Structure 1
Amino acid sequence: MRGPDVQAKALDARALAALAANPGCDRRAILDGAGVDKAALAGALGAPSGFGQSQFALTRGNAFEAKVKADGGAELLRLVHEHLDPKAAPPADAHLPDLGAPGPEGRTARTELTLREATYAAAATGTGRWSLLDHPMLALDVAGSAAFLEPDAVVVHPDGSWTVVEIKSFPMLDGSADPAKVGAAARQAAVYVLALEQVAARLDPAPEVRSRVLLVCPKDFSNLPTASAVDVRKQRAVTARQLTRLTRIEDIADDLPDGTCFSPRLPAGELTAAVESVPASYAPECLAACELAFHCRDRSRAGGAVTALGRTVRAELGGLTTVEDVLAAARGEQGDPADPAVAALRRAARLRAEALATAAGGGPAGPDAALAGSDAALAGAAREAGGGTLR
């Protein structure tokens, strides 16, 4: 599906978190499952996206990660000990296993063997030795397709429990970071926690995968590392639930026309037809998570879909799926009057018309007064209907 001689793009934890946030989007599911480079695809469709990190940000992030892991990960383990396990023995002589192996399958098997050995050694000897796995490889089944994930680090504690470590280059100012960026990092870490839980389930006894991950960032405006423990139980539960709702890749592929291909090398018309053959579920949140967001937004707006206004608006409008349907329902031209959404729209339209007529007639004069009267009427209708859409 991605075309002959086109290298597959690996599905990482960031992409999985975005996919889980929008499980109803068959387009993203099939493209990610087939390993299609969505950035190149968006460019070929004439809607290039600015989604992703700049080369400068990548270079800065790699340099900061190297600093955090220098000297055998001494600083990183100190932060884990300080924020997550202060009662354990200090990580003076940590074990840094070699995780090298050919191919992602080989690295995944090597990571699982290393985790098994480190966990059993901690339980059997009781020596309290720490282990640091630098860029381990984990596998997670997503809608019937295996995704290979590479967290920044996984730490095995002296008691045999496991912790995910996320290293980011955005700063922590006075002990706190940008909530939006922390939230994105938590969703990404939750995917790693899910993958680790699958590994732990194959061990007997199964070790604990800690739900509190360590987020390591630069301190203030320096390059010195600082850290914070982030509880990802909520993100883990949401991600697990959404991933189970994803339609299997095979089921989506079976509904596609024979010979469907998403290679960016195809002619524009043929490529557009192939992409449009897969249903999408666009929402404004896609702009921060998907390379195809600009293309899907243009199509959504052209079709007058209410999803372009946001998931909250879409949910409150019920069976009204287009802006044209919404306006027709408000004018009383279509829709079931017993439908709460239709009734609320008609009442809002009626009150707005009455307010504007009053302002234009014997009521308060001037555009400001008309606007104030209209807003007051709409606010009253919204309170009676109890819906955020009318506001």
Structure 2
Amino acid sequence: MPPQTRGTALRHRLAELRGPDVPAKALDARALAALAANPGCRRRAILDGAGVDKTALAGALGAPSAFGQSQFALTRGNAFEAKVKADGGAELLRLVREHLDPGAEPAERATAVPDLSAIGPEGRTARTALALREAAAATEPAEDGESSQGGQGGGWVLLDHPMLALEVAGSPAFLEPDAVVVHPDGSWTVVEIKSFPMLDGSADPAKVGAAARQAAVYVLALEEVAARLDPAPRVRHDVLLVCPKDFSNLPTASAVDVRKQRAVTARQLARLTRVQDIADALPEGTCFAPGLPAEQLTAAVEAVPATYAPECLSACELAFHCRQRSRAADEVTALGRAVRAELGGLATVEDVLSAARGESGDAADPAVAALRRAAALRAEALGVPCP
């Protein structure tokens, strides 16, 4: 089957899984980073690939999720972002130059702020690629070795909410960073604008880590655009994180090196099973439309294996449902990935307890030996007979 025909067949199949007349939910960088952090979860891969609204699905399954931002946080974040980008991005460019490119020429505002509006995500992606190509052409060296603008580069270019595409498990994901800045030397920088504060020059490490993983996804997508140009512009691995300063609404920034997050995300995304393979393995008639009866939805969701871990609670809308099922099945994954890795082939809590009591398991197995040693120490500490 030709690639174009396969792509059309996959889109039809994913639409069937999503449900008739159910619009697809876009896969954003936040979800993509969470998916990359748990590449073994086929359930999340197919639901995200099909564009299923997991929040609505979780509610229909009787396990509503508390995952997501409040309306107040969204409103505050949008207002802060508008302040940062005001006046042609003057303040944003000042922060980029100060933290990432102090040797570049200063700019009161961007030389260009391209119009990236177009019909649909595909059109916006193409328009973004064109704007980046035009910015790269403006800084191409002339025959005498100087840039096309007298050695001063093409000036600062600000792309406000560009659209990038990244293939994930054989299906395209459209991503929208807060901004991409083209430096006078032609290099590209991803800008992440967050509403959590930087207190005394530092922010919550957990929130900074989440922002870095999200920005790494944008860097990967931007590198694919750069690879199609000749010569390929440099995509900087130091992204700019812009946050409110202390308890004010004044913007401050910090450079964040995302090389590690980029490498991990690229490796994990490459490990994802192709969405086509997961869809082909599902029973005929499987559908995840939230309007279906709970029993039918439960059967559809359970037809796809999940890899639950407590970390899912902060990253996936279906985490409460998967946790209930994991506990009901007595799976050790509910105790965390680190514990699961230490237990080797012991897959259930009952298997672990049985091995600790000496009722099952190979004594030569390091995990079994450690469990029996722990059980003996516990019995000795409590003064009870050793099981």
Q: Which moved more, 1:122-131 or 1:250-259?
A: 122-131
> 2:90 corresponds to which residue?
74
Look up the SS of the partner of 2:181 in the other structure: strand
- State the 1:40 CA deviation: 0.2
Distance (whole Å) between structure 2 residues aligned to residue 335 and residue 254 of structure 1: 37
Distance (whole Å) between structure 2 residues aligned to residue 325 and residue 337 of structure 1: 14
- State the 1:69 CA deviation: 0.5
Superposed structure 1 runs of 4+ greater than 3 Å apart: none
Give the TM-score, by structure 1 length: 0.90
Matches within 5 A, 1:294-333: 294-333=320-359
Identity, % of aligned pairs? 84
Q: Deviations over 1:5-61 (max 9, x none)?
A: 111000000000000000000000000000000000000000001100000000000
Distance (whole Å) between structure 2 residues aligned to residue 28 and residue 325 of structure 1: 27
Distance (whole Å) between structure 2 residues aligned to residue 316 and residue 209 of structure 1: 39
- Pair 1:98 & 2:115 matched: yes
- State the 1:127 CA deviation: 3.1
- State the 1:159 CA deviation: 0.6
| Residue number among 24, 32, 35 corresponding to 1:16 in the alignment | 32
Distance (whole Å) between structure 2 residues aligned to residue 354 and residue 13 of structure 1: 51
Give the TM-score, by structure 2 length: 0.91
For 2:91, the aligned partner's letter is: E
For 1:238, the aligned partner's letter is: V
Distance (whole Å) between structure 2 residues aligned to residue 147 and residue 239 of structure 1: 14
Distance (whole Å) between structure 2 residues aligned to residue 51 and residue 195 of structure 1: 26
> 1:119 corresponds to which residue?
136
Distance (whole Å) between structure 2 residues aligned to residue 292 and residue 233 of structure 1: 30
Q: Deviations over 1:241-276 (max 9, x none)?
A: 000000000111111100100011000111101001
Look up the SS of the partner of 2:276 in the other structure: helix
For 1:320, the aligned partner's letter is: L
> 1:269 corresponds to which residue?
295
Look up the SS of the partner of 2:190 in the other structure: strand
Q: Which moved more, 1:269-278 or 1:118-127?
A: 118-127
- Pair 1:60 & 2:76 matched: yes
> 1:172 corresponds to which residue?
198
> 1:383 corresponds to which residue?
none
Distance (whole Å) between structure 1 residues aligned to residue 253 and residue 382 of structure 2: 56
> 2:257 corresponds to which residue?
231
Q: Which moved more, 1:332-341 or 1:316-325?
A: 332-341
- State the 1:353 CA deviation: 2.0
Distance (whole Å) between structure 2 residues aligned to residue 23 and residue 9 of structure 1: 20
Distance (whole Å) between structure 1 residues aligned to residue 380 and residue 173 of structure 2: 58
Distance (whole Å) between structure 1 residues aligned to residue 84 and residue 139 of structure 2: 24
Distance (whole Å) between structure 2 residues aligned to residue 283 and residue 211 of structure 1: 30
> 2:14 corresponds to which residue?
none
**Residues matched between the structures, number:** 360
Q: Is there any run of 5+ residues in structure 1 with no aligned partner, and where? A: 361-373, 375-391
Distance (whole Å) between structure 2 residues aligned to residue 348 and residue 102 of structure 1: 63
Q: Is there any run of 5+ residues in structure 2 with no aligned partner, and where? A: 1-16, 141-147
For 2:118, the aligned partner's letter is: A
- State the 1:154 CA deviation: 0.2
> 1:250 corresponds to which residue?
276
- RMSD across aligned positions (CA): 1.2
- Pair 1:29 & 2:54 matched: no
Distance (whole Å) between structure 1 residues aligned to residue 193 and residue 46 of structure 2: 30
For 2:293, the aligned partner's letter is: P
